[in-house]
Amino acid sequence: MSSDTSVTLDLAMDPADLTAALVDVESVSDHEGPLAEAVETALRALPHLNVHRDGDTVIARTDLGRDERVILAGHLDTVPLPTVEGSLGGVPATRRREAEGDVIYGRGTTDMKGGVAVQLVLAHELTEPNRDVTYVFYDHEEVSSDASGLGRVMRNSPELLEADFAVLLEPTNGTVEGGCNGTMRFRITTHGKAAHSGRSWIGENAIHKQTDVLARLSAYEARTVTVEGLDYREGLNAIRIGGGVAGNVIPDTAWVEVNYRFAPDKSLEQAQEHMREVFTGYELEWQDLSPAARPGLDRPSAAQFVAAVGRDPMPKYGWTDVARFSEAGVPAVNFGPGDALLAHTDDEHVFNDAVRACHRALASWLS
């Protein structure tokens, strides 16, 4: 926990102005301390909230005895700052008036300090929400999943994250994106016999033995699966390949790494079994396993939320932390300001009106 208390946040600010203020506090993964300290200090000043701290994760909860509890969650960390001189997507924030409207440039504007700003303004102004609300501000989302602050709290204090429904304020251009595809990575290694390439017939070329694996990948027809009215598109692709040691040696090993994105109609175990069937005869070396998440749009709270947003929901093709909530039994959706395609870019930015619209939709749902 950082002892730096030099950052002060005014939660009564316009959410777009607060977005810029949050961007001004650099919080690249592993350095979230000052921002977490500022968030904790600001939230502890609100008497209607009970505040908890776990490392650089801050959790604030209303305890009004409502019939339903919802979670609003967002991560405090960002990817590293741009290295290209003159990039607008760094720190501090840069504000501009453009033809499409007023814009905030800076690292994290889209992913996801715009969403965090909305959470903080709601935490300040909703003293009597119609549902109990748990606000989660967590660390280490942009790095290895085993370092996730959200995952850590789920292990250390799962009772703090019990709820009926969750909204993760990842950028979605102001559209509800239900659940998410699961993802897994695995390697298939083929073995041969090393030999001098001048006498190649003595050896067995392990790279050539990957031909069958690549043929199966090329022939695979990815499905589109409808889950709770949303169409999730799957994908199976080679993402890395390697083998060989020198220009005059027949390689005795070669490998291909495969990424499978699977719809939330399957459990992690079912997805693994499907891959074993596709690659029958090969050993799969699992590199990463992340379950899918069902959208939970059949829940009354979800239906009311979609109505408050006023747009038809969409599926989430990528993986997000909604999967962690789903695995813990909490249906979850993604909803936040900004274009996800701008995340991590050197000109990362968000429109003021997008942040304000996100705030209005959530305030309407919770008021």
> What residue type is 252 in one-letter code?
D
- Residue 174 CA to residue 166 CA, distance in Å, equals 16
Active site includes 63? no
CA–CA dist 39, 76 (Å, integer) = 9
- Tokens representing 19 are 């977005």
Annotated catalytic residue, options 40, 56, 77, 170: 77
Q: Identify the CA nearest to 330 among candidates 197, 162, 202.
A: 162
Pure H helices in the chain = 15-23, 33-44, 114-125, 149-156, 211-219, 268-278, 300-309, 322-327, 352-366
Structure tokens at 74: 């967002």
Q: Which helix (H) or strand (E) holds 333?
A: strand 332-334
Residues 231 and 269: their CA atoms lie apart, in Å, by: 21
Cβ neighbours, 10 Å, residue 354 = 25
Count of C-beta atoms within a 10 Å radius of residue 229: 12
Instruction: Give the strand pairing for 349-351 and 101-105.
Output: antiparallel
**Long-range contacts, stretch 282-286, CB < 8 angstroms, 24+ apart:** 282/188, 282/213, 283/188, 283/189, 284/186, 284/187, 284/188, 285/186, 285/187, 285/188, 285/189, 286/184, 286/185, 286/186
Q: Establish whether 77 is a catalytic residue.
A: yes
Set 54, 56, 132, 141: catalytic member: 141
Q: Is 76 helix (H, G, I), strand (E, B) or coil?
A: coil
Instruction: Collect contacts of 278-282 with beta carbons under 8 A, ≥24 apart.
Output: 278/216, 278/220, 278/236, 279/188, 279/213, 279/216, 282/188, 282/213
Which residue numbers are catalytic? 77, 141
